[in-house]
Amino acid sequence: MVQPIPLRPAGASPQPSVPAQVPPKPVKAAPRLTAEEREFLPATIELIETPLSPTLRLTAWALCGLIAAAVIWASLSHIDMVAVADGKVVPLGQVKVVQPLETAMIRAIHVDEGDHVAAGQLLVDLDPTEARADLDALVYNRTQAALDAEVARVLLSRDPAEPFRGPEGADPVLVEQSHSQAQREIEKHLATVSGYEADIAQKEAVLQSNDAQIERARLTLPLLQEKNETARRSMTRSSAPGPRCWRASSSWWRSALS
């Protein structure tokens, strides 16, 4: 059957025909290219086709979260105001300083704070290492000084057979070496003294011989002077001196030179 077409009323303006709307067809997304495929594209297209790295987004979100957490913590947290100053604790009661005569490291403490102690009670144990080292050094110096004094005493005696009494606590080997050295020094000194005495005796003998010669010359001098006077008188009597007068004059001059 043919449907009737309604008539347009009179005076009505003609309406334009509206084209029918066609629904858009869905466009299929192009498949993503792989990294190997993007390497063969031009630089601009490769830059466009390369997807953005998710690291930047994650970093931006992390920074935003950190800033937000800092702002929330600064807004809600409570900060204590602390003032720092130097002070000194002054007790009200009597205070006595307890300290040892020698300074050393503490090995053990036998009392606690607030304990009652008695006179002579052991409070702390000190490390005796340094004190023992000082004591050993002092004992060694004392022994060495006593040994030197004994060596000096034996040397002053000038007797190699003088008994050597080493100090107590000295090393026997060191005592024997000091004794031997003292004996050698005494023997050397005695030998030197004997040599000097022999030289003195020799010089005294020479002096005695010279004194005897001087005395003999002193006794002979008057005779020679007399002979010289006789020879001089003979020379004045005679114009030429004889051999006897010349020999007497020569003898007198030799005696005078001697």
Confirm whether 73 is domain-assigned.
no
Confirm whether 171 is domain-assigned.
yes
When divided into structural domains, the chain yields a total of 1
Question: pLDDT class for 179, splitting at 50, 70, 90?
Answer: confident
Domain coverage including residue 239: 132-257
Q: Which residues are registered as beta bridge partners of 109?
A: 124
Q: 96-120, pLDDT tens digit by residue?
A: 777 777 777 888 888 888 888 888 8
Question: pLDDT class for 10, splitting at 50, 70, 90?
Answer: very low
What is the three-state SS of the chain? Answer: CCCCCCCCCCCCCCCCCCCCCCCCCCCCCCCCCCHHHHCCCCHHHHHHHCCCCHHHHHHHHHHHHHHHHHHHHHHHCCCCCCCCCCCCCCCCCCCCCCCCCCCCCEEEECCCCCCCCCCCCCCEEECCHHHHHHHHHHHHHHHHHHHHHHHHHHHHHCCCCCCCCCCCCCCHHHHHHHHHHHHHHHHHHHHHHHHHHHHHHHHHHHHHHHHHHHHHHHHHHHHHHHHHHHHHHHHHHCCCCCHHHHHHHHHHHHHHHC
- The pLDDT, as a whole number, for residue 66 is 94
**How many other C-beta atoms can be found within 10 angstroms of the C-beta atom of residue 135?**
11
- The pLDDT, as a whole number, for residue 70 is 92
Confirm whether 148 is domain-assigned.
yes
Backbone φ/ψ region at 223: left (φ over 0), alpha (ψ -120 to 50), beta: alpha
Q: 200-250, pLDDT tens digit by residue?
A: 999 999 999 998 888 888 888 888 888 888 888 888 876 544 445 445 555
Q: 167-177, pLDDT tens digit by residue?
A: 887 888 888 88
Residues in the chain, total: 258
Confirm whether 136 is domain-assigned.
yes
- The pLDDT, as a whole number, for residue 204 is 92
Tokens of residue 252, six digits: 């007198």
Tokens of residue 5, six digits: 């077409």
Q: 115-172, pLDDT tens digit by residue?
A: 888 888 888 888 888 888 888 899 989 988 988 888 888 888 888 888 888 888 788 8
Q: Torsion over CA of 69, 73, 75 and 80, rounded to 10 degrees?
A: -160
Above 70 in pLDDT, residue 8? no
Confirm whether 242 is domain-assigned.
yes
Indicate the average pLDDT of the chain.
Answer: 78
Question: pLDDT class for 49, splitting at 50, 70, 90?
Answer: confident
Confirm whether 74 is domain-assigned.
no
Confirm whether 198 is domain-assigned.
yes
**164 CB burial (10 A radius; 0-12, 13-18, 19+):** middle
Confirm whether 108 is domain-assigned.
no
